[in-house]
Amino acid sequence: MRPPPTRLLAEDMIIEILLKLPVKSLLRFKCVCKFWKTLISSPQFVKAHLNTSRTNMSRQQLVYLAGSEIEINELVMYSVQSLFEHPSAPLKTLSFMVENKYRFIIGSCNGLLCLFGWDGCFKLWNPSTRLISKSSPPTDLFFVPYPDTHYGFGYDHVNDKYKVLVNCGPKETQVHTFGTKFWTTIKTSFCGLYTWTKLGKFVSGTLNWLTWDEDHIISFDVKNETYGEVLLPPQLDGDRCRYNYVLDVLSNCLCLCYSDEVNSVVWLMKKYGIQDSWTKLGLIPDEMVSTMRLLSFHPLCISENGVVLAKSYGSRLIVYNPNSGTF
C-alpha cells in the first residue's frame, strides 16, 4: 500500500512559521535543506525575525554578568515572560562562560551584546548563536585619567553597521565601527557629558544621556556621528522637587523616570525628538514605594496589559500591576 502523498506548504507559509520560532530551533532547521539554510541565513529573514522578536515577550531576556569582585566570567540570562507569569517562583537561568577580562555590558541591540574589557577593547557577542566578533582596537580615551567617562552602543540601520562610542572629557569623542580597525575622533562643542548615567540609551538611531542639571537630554546620531539635544517634558517646570532620575528605553520609546515629594513618575516620548509627544505613563504613590523599601523605580519592560517589570537599587527586581496597585 502506497503512503499518502506529501503535502507541501507554500513558501510564504513556511517563512511565516519559521519567523515565529526561537533562534535555537532555527539553527537546527538550517540542516533540513539548502533552501531553508539559505532562507534562514539571509539578511532579510534575520531582520524580519528581529522585528517579530521585539513584539514577542517569550523571546525577551534579561542579562547580567556574574562572578566575584575579582573574577567575572559568567553571563546569565533569564526569561522576561517567566518573571511576569511567575514572579515568586525560582528563576530558570541560562549561563555562558565569557573571557574574564570582559567586565561590563555596554549595551544591547538587535540581540547582540557589546562587552567591554579592562584592556580598552570591545567585542560583540550573540548569546543565541554563541558567535563573537573580533576585538576592537583599544580606545586611546580609555587610558586618559578622566573620572566622567561615557559609553554607548548603537546601530546604524542605513549602512547596517554597529558602533561603540567613548567620551572621556571635554570636546572629544571616539567612535569605532565594528568590522573596521580604527577609531574616529569627533570634536564636539559640549564640555563633557555631565550626566546621571555613563551608558547611553539607544533608541531611534540615537544614543541618549540625561544631563546632570536635568535641563535636557544629550543625543548622539549613530549614523551621522553628530551630537544634538532633546527637550524634556514641558510640564516638568511645574512639578515638585525631583530626584532619583532614570533615563532608559521602554516599549521602544525614550523613558524618563523620577521621584517627587509624592509619587514616582514615568514619562514616555512616543515620537522621538518631539517634545509634545512626552506622555505621562503613570504615577506610583511614594507611600507604596516606601512600603516596598525601594529607593528608586526603574522600569525595564511593560506587558500588553500594562504590568511593569522594574528594578531598584541593588538589582532588586519587582513586578508592579497598576491595574490593582500591587507589587
pLDDT(101) > 90:
no
Query: What DSSP letter does each residue of 129-161 carry, written as one string?
Result: TTEEPPPPPPPGGGGS--S--EEEEEEETTTTE
Strands 278-285 and 298-302, sheet pairing: unpaired
Q: What pLDDT does 6 receive?
A: 43
Identify the H or E element spanning 177. strand 172-177
Model-level pTM? 0.83
Q: Span 289-294, mean pLDDT?
A: 59
Under the banding of pLDDT at 50, 70 and 90, the label for residue 180 is: very high
pLDDT(224) > 90:
yes
Q: How far apart are CA 61 and CA 84, in angstroms?
A: 12
Q: What pLDDT does 289 receive?
A: 62
Cα-based distances in Å from 242 to 238, 266, 275, 278: 11, 12, 19, 17
Q: How far apart are CA 235 and CA 298, in angstroms?
A: 21
Handedness of CA 311, 151, 74, 56 (dihedral sign): positive
Q: How far apart are CA 227 and CA 224, in angstroms?
A: 9
Question: What's the gap between Cα 288 and its chain centre?
Answer: 28
Q: How far apart are CA 192 and CA 190, in angstroms?
A: 5
C-alpha cell at 147: 573620572
Percent of the chain with pLDDT over 90: 21
Q: How far apart are CA 240 and CA 286, in angstroms?
A: 13
Roughly how many angstroms between the first and final C-alpha of the chain, as a whole number? 63
Question: What's the gap between Cα 6 and its chain centre?
Answer: 44
Number of H helices, E strands in the chain: 6, 22
Q: What pLDDT does 145 receive?
A: 44
pLDDT(125) > 80:
yes
Contact 61, 79 (CB under 8 A): yes
Contact 115, 106 (CB under 8 A): yes
pLDDT(9) > 90:
no
C-alpha cell at 45: 529573514
Q: Span 77-101, mean pLDDT?
A: 78
Under the banding of pLDDT at 50, 70 and 90, the label for residue 203 is: very high
- Burial pattern 237-260, b for ≥16 Cβ within 10 A else e, equals eeeeeeebbbbbbbeebbbbbbbb
Q: What residue type is 19 in one-letter code?
A: L
Question: What's the gap between Cα 226 and its chain centre?
Answer: 21
Q: What residue type is 165 in one-letter code?
A: L
Among 204, 258, 252, CA closest to 236: 258
pLDDT(2) > 50:
no
Q: Which residues contact 27 (CB under 8 A, 6 or more apart)?
A: 129
Strand order through the sheet with 278-285 = 243-250, 253-259, 263-269, 278-285
Place of cell 518631539: 274
Per-residue pLDDT tens digits for 211-222: 877 678 989 999
